[in-house]
Each structure stands twice: as C-alpha cells, then as structure tokens.
Amino acid sequence: MAITYQAENVTLPRIRRRETTRWIKTVAERYHKKVGEIAYLFCDDAKILEINRQYLQHDYYTDIITFDYSEDNRISGDISISLDTVRSNSQMYHTDFELELYRVMIHGILHLCGIDDQSDSEKKEMRIAEDSALELLRNPLP
C-alpha cells in the first residue's frame, strides 16, 4: 500500500515525503484505520475548478477535494489540493504556507477516517482533529 505525491500545473511542494507518509499512517492508526492507496495531486486553481465541475457539479474554487474509496478499516482515496488556494488561505489567515498545506493534507485523511465537517459541531471536531494531527507532526512520537 502506498501514498503517492504528484503535481499538475504546479511544482511539487517541498514536503518531507517519508516523514509525511509516516505521519499520515500514525494519524490513521489513531482512528483504527490502515492506509491503503492514497494519491495526492497538487494542482492550481484552474485544475481544482475543473475537478469540482466535472465530478461534483460545483462551480467554485476550493482548497481540497477528496474522493473516498475506503473499504472497512482501510482508507484509500484521491486527494486533490489547490496550492493557489492554500497559499491565499495562508495569507488570509496569517499562517505559514507549509503549516496550512499540512493542515489541508491531513484534512483529507481525516475525511477518509470518517470525520465530517458539514455542521458547526463537525467543523469544530475537524479543527480539533487537525490541530492534534499537526501537533504530532511537530512533535513525533518516539
């Protein structure tokens, strides 16, 4: 099982792949999930809009789109991330671009683990889960 990182219309961001993959697996394990096939696609706003229109019939930009192919306790999916929107969000929220990128990356994984963010209470739960995961990235377990 693998986690892959690809880019279309953008330069692949400088993520520490081995460390990031280990982190994603650790977060999934906290939700009693195993990692199957996860494919990250880093792209620009034009590509994320195309994906949103083609597959979801939504006509707007977003930072992330997650397609869930999980079965039982094995998470799998395609996660598309617009680096343009991540960059503008990091500026709008006065956060570091890399931190915002990792937040969005783990956001997709948390969706695959079963966390939703439709209601206000779910959004709060998602933010707590993101913060907890980011803390793990900053201070990895031995």
- Domains, the chain, in order of start with CATH, read 3-138 (3.40.390.30)
pTM of the full structure: 0.95
pLDDT by position in tens, the chain (length 142): 699 999 999 999 999 999 999 999 999 999 999 999 999 999 999 999 999 999 999 999 999 999 999 999 999 999 999 999 999 999 999 999 999 999 999 999 999 999 999 999 999 999 999 999 999 998 866 5
What residues form DSSP beta bridges with 40? 5, 79
List Cβ neighbours of 130 (8 Å cut-off, separation of 6 or more). Answer: 103, 106, 107, 110
DSSP state of 71: B
